[in-house]
Structures are given as structure tokens and as C-alpha cells.
Structure 1
Amino acid sequence: MRLTTPPAPAHPSLHPAPAHPSPHHASARPSPQPASASAHPSPPPTLAPEAVRRAALAAARDAEAADRDRRLTPEVVAALTAAGFDRHFVPVADGGRAGSFADLVEAVALVGEGCASAAWCAALYAAHGRLAGYLPGPARREIWGGGGPVRIAAAVTPPAVEAVATAGGWRLTGTWAPASGIDSADWVLLSAWAPQPDGTRDSRLFAVPAGEGTVLDTWHTLGMRGTGSHTLRLDGVDVPEHRTLSRERLAAAEPAEPGAARCHALPYPFVAALMFAAPVLGAARGLLADWTATAPPGSAEVLTRASAGIRAAGLLLDGAAGRADGDGITPLAVAENVRDSITATELCTEAADRLFRAAGSRAHATGDPLQRRWRDIRTAATHAMLRFDLAAQAYGRAVLGS
């Protein structure tokens, strides 16, 4: 890995500029301040350039180990935590930053240049902190009241488990998967059905200390192995009512408190695909840099097409992050964010395929970073939130009304 050492004011690329320019990284933007920030002490900084760079370098150094061991090394987890990914979207009142999506996308992509799995976990540490920010105050105080770092995993796919009502709460028994980063998580958000007195069922999220479950070693995959997205099993775990959240509230972005920051006033579809696309962008940039360093003769066309696609993907995600951080929420803006995030993922996947084919048989060797990056990109792009049919449906409804 070719790493430059001097820090710069913004998150620089992990790679020096090749003979042909690679996608640039925008300068860091200030995090938007929540409406209630004046009532609380200044939040601790998150995603400071030097801290993010240290995390990115650690992720690059341990990428092969993460791929081999199917989990991030403790050093990488510590570096991501020190950079503040877990606190980036936590409400200011709970000790977080309530930060911007632009800053997060930039930082996640930089980490992804070295290790897509580390970038995925970094993005989800932030994303799950944002989701937990919708919980009632007592639950948030349980999670963040200690003042230290808190990493939150989640398995929030459509529920397959039905909770059992108890006095003052619910009891959960079942399995949930995949749960990225569960090995290093302090808490976990789990989806389950909550039966209602009228016979209906409410789809809810339940916040559970990760230590109350058992991790089952089930994550054996083509790529993104280092995410450690294993299965979590709970056997009769009681969850108080205040540690539950209706998914309807989450989808509608109904904050737990008035005067919420912009990042807590966005419906889930507005930013979900964006969070998953950022690691793919970083991995594609890393693949391009590695490929360029050993480019075979006569490869100018491959380089040009691939670099242009990755550059375009970065611009699409910059635009999506800008809409998320901007003013107003419209059905069209939500649909544009879904469209652009998923299209960016497709552009990165196409570029990765092009580069991997052009690298020849040597890229297929065990341990070659090109094949690891290609496997990671291909695996990440299959995530349910990155399906192009979702983008087409959302955009078609917003523009055509059908």
C-alpha cells in the first residue's frame, strides 16, 4: 500500500496522485449545528481529519487480516472509535455531534480506500447511532449516559421474530442476521413484531445490550468478510417498553425530542442507500489506485473509463449528501438520493469489473489486494438497500406519479 504521511486540512486520499488523476476528495465541511445546541455544552469533535486518517491507515494495514479472520482487528475498531464514527450522529444532548452526512461520506470513503469492511462498520456505527437517537430519553440515557464510546450493531431487516408482551415491556427469543460488527458492539438494535391489543402487529426496533445475546459464527462469504456480520441469538431476553421504537416513527422521521438536528429529521429512505454506498466508493478508489500502480501496457482506455466512472460516483454521492444536509424534504429529493446513491454503486461496480478483467490472471492470486477489493465491492453492491429496482420505483413514483 502506498501511503503518504503528511496530514492535510481535509481527509486526503490514502494514495498519492498517479500519473493519471484519480478521483479527488472534497474538503471537510463544518457539521451543522442542531437547533438545541445552544442549550448544551459544545459536543466533542468527530471525524477530525487526522483521526480519520489514522483510522484509514490502520484499516489499510489490517485489511488482509480482516479478510482472513472475518472480523476487524481490535486496533482498527479502536481507531474507528477514536475518530468518533460511533458518536457522529448521536444527539448533542446525549454527548454526540449530530453531524453532517457530507463529513461522514467523505470519511467513510477514505477508510474504504484501505478496507471496505472497516468502512462498512464505520458507516454503520454512525448510522445506528442515528437510529438509536430516535429512542425515548430514558433509553438514550441508558445507552450513552456513561459518557464513553458506544458502538451499536443492528439487524433491522423486516422482522421474522414476534416479541412476547410482559409487564412493562417485551421478551425476545430468536435469531437475527446479518448484524455487521456484532463482535465489537456494545448495544444492538433488533427488529421484531410487537402484537397489539386490537390484534394488529407493530413492527418495532428493540435496543438490547449486545452481551445479552449469543453470537453465532455464520458469516462465510465471498467478500466483505471483515464486517463479521454474524447471527445474534436471544433466548428470553426482556426489553423494557422505553427501549422500543416503532419503525413507522423511524420511517417518518419523528424525532424523540423537539428541536432535533437536521440529521434526526430525515426519513430513513432519504439516507439509507447513501450510507451503504460510501464504503463502495472508497473501495473502488482503492482498487483504482492499486491497479494504476501496476497498469499493463495499452491500458489507457480501461483507466480512463474506470476513473471517470468512479469520479462520477463520487460526485453523485456528494450531491446526495448535500441534499441530506440541506433544507427541506420532498418526495423528489428522497427519490433523487436513492437514485444517485444506487447509481453511484453501479458505476463503482462497473469500474471494478473493468479494472479486474484488465488486470489479468495475476489479480486472482490469493492475497492480491485487487481480488479482495473486487470481492468486497461485488458483495457490498448486493445489499438490499442498493438494488436498482428500488431506485427506479422511488424515482418513477416521484416524477411520473406511478
Structure 2
Amino acid sequence: MSDTLEQLYHPAALPAYCERALQHIADWRDRASAAEKNRRLSGSTFDELFAGGWLDLLAPRAPVTRNGHWPTLVESARIAARACASTGWMMALVGGHGCIARRLPPSFQDRLYAEGSRQLFASASSSADSQLSLEAAGMRVNGRWRFSSGIEDATWLMLNAPCPNHPDAARTPRFLVLMAAQEVHRLDSWDSCGMAATGSHDVLTRNVLVPHEHVFALQEVFAESPAMTGTDYIDRLPLVPYLTTSIIGPLLGCAEGAHAEYLRSLAGSPLSSEPRIIEQIAHSAAQLYSARLLYESLISRLHDAGVQARALDARQLLQLKRDRAYLAQQCVQVVHRLVERLGASSLVAANSLQRHWRDVQAMAAHRDLVWHDAMQSYGEAVLRPL
């Protein structure tokens, strides 16, 4: 299976971006091992991601399209992840943060881009000691914030948490705060065995005062905004389903890349004539084909809803969550089947198939793909209809 064999893009994705990603895939594969060791992507890779437009597909300065850029982002990330899952993750997750920035007021967008067009928006999750406190001059930000993918190369950081002393705290559960990445202290905490090159370190904010203009009600930014006509659907519909589903691109791409690596490793090997190996390849290919159909269905459901200016209902959102988790399980099973019989000689960090195995497990552990939560929520809805 080559990188171009059976290459079909989702019909809503712009082929030019996908084909451009294919042109870079050999270079991204060559850099993947070094990126994992360095625990971050190289400057050359970031230059290519910006020059190719992938990190700006959903940014405020992206051109408006009739059907939206979201499927193109997911498909491009899928292709990149065949070579390097961390590169695909940077496209889908960190590049996807641009759709948050594009929902902010135009005057604030001008501030975000005041230093130039090359802006990268990282995020971080709140922890037990993350704190927001309102003061007369702005919002005081303190504490540790977790898993900030791309923070070493980011220009802006997005944080969100409750602010108990805010006068609107009762009706605004969380506030979104944007601050310059240079204002936070990066902790060298990302020591994961998988997705190492995402550089998803924790960050520490030490009594940072953020101006009021940098603080927004999170629910208002992420909510449905039907009044915004003439723009991409990513601006109008509830944002969370698109943000949380973007990661299926690098997830599936990683599994596809593992399968391709396995076939490459068998080229000219006497193992390629063994019945158990032949069966293994066929089984994984069939499971990948099934996973692709589910992947395409997930994109189509969200894209079609976007084109129709229709928000998904509660049952459809549970189905989306269920199917993302199921897709993650299928991808993990595909790669596990390929690595389990490789033999002791393959159990080295430099083995590219082992890297795919580490990466796919790390992605499947993401909170938006957790099996139990997704199945529990959907099962309860089936047994106790909404």
C-alpha cells in the first residue's frame, strides 16, 4: 500500500491541499524519528505547515468558502499522520484552534495579527489549581494548565476556567482568556511515550494580569450564531462538535501509516509468503476499510449539517461521540495486530511501526475518544430515551 494507492479524499475537502500534503509526506516521514527524540516538530516542518496554508485553514484571515475548510483540515491531517502523527495532530488540533479566534471581534483579531500573519494558537486544559480572578484592571490568571500541544512554537495561548468572583459567574460557567504565549512559563513535563513530538507541555501562569479585552464568555464564543450570514458554517454552528471531531484525521492516518510501514517492511522478505502474515495483512486492510467508512460518515454528518445550517440534536451528538470512540478502538486494533508478531528485533525505539503504535495509543487516550464515557452516554440514551 503506497501513500497514493486508493487515495480518495472526502468530496468536501479541497484536493489541492490534500495533494500538497502528499508531496510533503516523504519529508515528514524522514523527520518523524528526530521529532520524537526532540519532543517537538522541526522548524522546517512548521515552515511547511504555514507555507502550505494548513495552519491557517480555519484562521480569521482564511478566505471564506461556500462549504467551509473544516473537511480539508481533517483530510490533510490524516495524510500527514501517515508519516508523522504529531504533524497531523498539529494540523488538526492546533491548526483547528483558528476557528475559535475567528469568532472573536474583528478589532481583537487585528490585535492577534498585529505582529504578522504567522500566528499559532495553542490551548491548555485547566487543572485543580488553575485560577481566574476578576480585578478592576483585568483578569488575573494563576496556576498550572495542562497538555498545551505546540506551546513551544505558539504565539498565543487560549485558556478557559470558571471565574467565581465575576458578576456574570452564575450564567457564565467558564471564561475564555487569550494571552501571549511568552507570558507563561513552560514546564518540561511532556514525557509521554506516544505523540512525543507534539510538545504538549504543561504551562505555569504566575499572577499574570490579562486585559479585559482578552476575556470572553466561553459559551458565547462556542455557541450557535445563525445571524452570521455569508460566512463559513464553522462560524455559525455550535463549535464543539467540529473541534472535538477534528482529531479523527490524525487518528486514522496513523493507523493507515502503520499498515503502509508494515507492507514496506515485508518487501522482499520470505515472511511475505507465510499464510499467517497474509491473513494478518488482509484482516488489517479490511478493518481499515471499515474504519475509513466510519471516518467518512463522521465528516459527512458534520459537513452536511454545516451546509444545511443545522445544529446536531442531542441524540446525534451522542452518536457522534460513540462513533469517534469506536473509530479509535478500530485504529488501535489495526496497529496492535501488526506489531504483536513482529519479533524481538523490532522492539526498538527507532522502529517506525513501533512509533505508530505508541502514537495511536496516545491519541486514543484523548478525552474526546474515551470508550467508556462515550458508550455509557449513548447506552443510557438508548435505554432511557431523551
TM-score class, shorter-chain normalisation, is 0.7 to 0.9
Residue 340 to residue 106, structure 1, CA distance change in 2 (3 Å): same
Partner of 1:118: 87
Alignment of 1:380-395 (within 5 A): 380-395=363-378
- Check whether the contact 1:47–1:107 (CA below 8 A) recurs between aligned residues: no
Partner of 1:343: 326
Following TM superposition, the consecutive aligned residue runs of length 4 or more in structure 1 with deviations greater than 6 angstroms are none
Partner of 1:196: 166
Aligned residues: 369
Pairwise CA distance, 1:191: 1.6
Alignment of 1:72-151 (within 5 A): 72-91=41-60, 94-97=61-64, 99-145=68-114, 148-151=117-120
Partner of 1:401: 385
In 1, distance between residues paired with 2:207 and 2:321? 37
Task: Decide which moves more: 117-126 or 143-152.
Answer: 143-152
Residue 16 to residue 264, structure 1, CA distance change in 2 (3 Å): closer
- Check whether the contact 1:174–1:235 (CA below 8 A) recurs between aligned residues: yes
TM-score (norm 2): 0.87
Pairwise CA distance, 1:144: 3.0
Alignment of 1:1-400 (within 5 A): 15=3, 17=5, 24-27=6-9, 29=11, 48-91=17-60, 94-97=61-64, 99-145=68-114, 148-157=117-126, 160-194=129-163, 195-197=165-167, 200=170, 202-254=173-225, 259-295=230-266, 296=271, 297-298=274-275, 299-326=277-304, 327=308, 328-331=310-313, 332-396=315-379, 399=382, 400=384
Give 1:15's aligned amino acid. D
- Check whether the contact 1:223–1:379 (CA below 8 A) recurs between aligned residues: yes
Which secondary structure state, in structure 2, belongs to the residue aligned with residue 311 of structure 1? helix
Partner of 1:38: none
Pairwise CA distance, 1:273: 3.6
Residue 199 to residue 339, structure 1, CA distance change in 2 (3 Å): closer
Which secondary structure state, in structure 2, belongs to the residue aligned with residue 173 of structure 1? strand
In 1, distance between residues paired with 2:45 and 2:2? 16
Task: Decide which moves more: 386-395 or 251-260.
Answer: 251-260
In 2, distance between residues paired with 1:276 and 1:372? 18
Residue 308 to residue 202, structure 1, CA distance change in 2 (3 Å): same
In 2, distance between residues paired with 1:159 and 1:145? 34
Residue 355 to residue 30, structure 1, CA distance change in 2 (3 Å): closer
In 1, distance between residues paired with 2:141 and 2:15? 34
In 1, distance between residues paired with 2:296 and 2:89? 18
Pairwise CA distance, 1:344: 1.2
In 2, distance between residues paired with 1:227 and 1:103? 21
TM-score (norm 1): 0.83
What fraction of aligned residue pairs are identical, expressed as a percent?
Answer: 26
CA RMSD between the two structures: 2.6
Residue 136 to residue 258, structure 1, CA distance change in 2 (3 Å): farther
Give 1:349's aligned amino acid. V
In 2, distance between residues paired with 1:218 and 1:47? 37
- Check whether the contact 2:134–2:166 (CA below 8 A) recurs between aligned residues: no
Residue 72 to residue 350, structure 1, CA distance change in 2 (3 Å): same
Task: Decide which moves more: 160-169 or 208-217.
Answer: 160-169
